[in-house]
Structure 1
Amino acid sequence: MTLRLFIFLLSMLALVSGQAQIAVGTWKQYPVFGEVTDLVETDRHVWYATGGCLYSYDKNADETRFYSGSGALSGYTVKLIRHDSDKGILAVAYADGNMDLILSDGSRVNLPEIR
C-alpha cells in the first residue's frame, strides 16, 4: 500500500513540474508597469509605450499585445509613437534613430533611410 501511494505521488509530482516549465529557447514577457511615456488611441487599439517597450490594447478582443525588437519591431527602445488617423498608420521612433510604420493590417515597414 505504501509503495502504491509513493508511486502515485511521484507521478503527480512529475505531471505538475512538467507543466510549470517554459520550453527551452522561448521567452516569457512580463508586462512593464511603470510610467507610460506615450499613449495613442485609435478606433480599435490603444497603443502605449512604457519602459521603452511598445504595447497595444485591442478594445474589441480585450487583449494586450507586447511588441518586441526581436521580431515584431526593428528597434528596442521606443521613444515616440504617433498615429495618422487618415491612413491608419502608427509611426514608432526608437532611441537609436530608427523608425517603423505599423500599417492598419498589422504589417510593419522599417524606414532605415530616416535613421
Structure 2
Amino acid sequence: MTMDDELLSDILAAEREIRQRIDERQRQRDERLAAVARELAQEREREAGALRAEREQALDRTERRARQEAEGLVAEAQAYAQRLERMETADLDRFLAPRLRGLLPGGEP
C-alpha cells in the first residue's frame, strides 16, 4: 500500500466518521423534535380540557342564574295574579279597563 493509498484510506475513514456523526446528530435532533411535539400536543390537550371545564362551569352558573331569575319572575306573576283574584269586581274593572282600552285599535291608554 502506497502513501497515496494510505492517505486516501484515511480520508475515506474520516469521511465515514463525519457522516456517522452527522447521522447521529440528525437522529438526536429528530428525537428531540418528536419529544417537543409530544409535549406540545399534551399541553394543548390539557389546555383544551381546562377550557372545556371552564366553559361547562360558566354554562352551569348561567343556567342557575337564569333559573333563579325565572323562578323570581314566576313568583312575582303569581303574587300579582293572587292580588288580582282578591280584588273586588268593581275595583278590578277600574284597574283593567284603561289597560284593555290601550290594547284596542283606536283605544285610549
> What TM-score comes out, normalization by structure 2 length?
0.30
Bigger Rg, which one: 2
RCO (CA 8 Å, sep 6+): is it higher in 1 or 2?
Answer: 1
**Higher normalized strand content (fraction of residues):** 1
> What TM-score comes out, normalization by structure 1 length?
0.28
**Higher normalized helix content (fraction of residues):** 2
